[in-house]
Amino acid sequence: MIANDGALASKRLPTAKEAMQKIALAEAKKASEALQQKEKAEAEKKALLERLSKQTGVSDEEALAKAAAIIERASNNGLTEVEVIRFPNALCTDHGRAINNGLEPGWENTLLGEPKEMYKFWEKHLRPLGYRVRVQIVDFPQGMPGDIGFTLIWAD
């Protein structure tokens, strides 16, 4: 009878070794999926960096129309500021050090690509109209400066 029960149990239950193999396979699958997600995120960040590192080619007239639409939409929603771009600190020659240190004099000269273009646009067209900007590190992954936010402000 005992032999018969053992045969019955072996048909229903995996061996301890099989159970451990199943766990190992599940953990390997999870690790593989996590690696794929990380690689995808890195590829997306690289593509964003590539896109933002170049000039947009947008004319001042087009940029003014976009700015007007953004400001009007935000104002209609009761907002007095709007973050217009968030970009990796790699788009600064010093990786955001001057920005992180309280906007050291000349910080704007560290900007590259689209952020530099946006700053120059603000300085030429929006600043004379009373608009201000706030440029700051907006996240600190692992305690290190991360992305930079460029916020347009129209309230005192």
Which of 59, 81, 83 minimizes the C-alpha distance to 136? 83
Sheet (strand 132-137) strand order: 81-87, 148-153, 132-137
Instruction: Quick: pLDDT tens for 124-146.
Output: 999 999 999 999 999 998 888 88
Please tell me whether the overall predicted TM-score, pTM, comes out greater than 0.75 for this model: no
Residue ranges per domain, the chain? 2-52, 60-153
Instruction: Quick: pLDDT tens for 12-23.
Output: 788 899 889 989
Say if residues 151 and 80 touch (Cβ distance below 8 Å).
no
Instruction: Quick: pLDDT tens for 88-116.
Output: 898 899 998 999 987 788 999 999 888 99
More confident residue, 57 or 6: 57
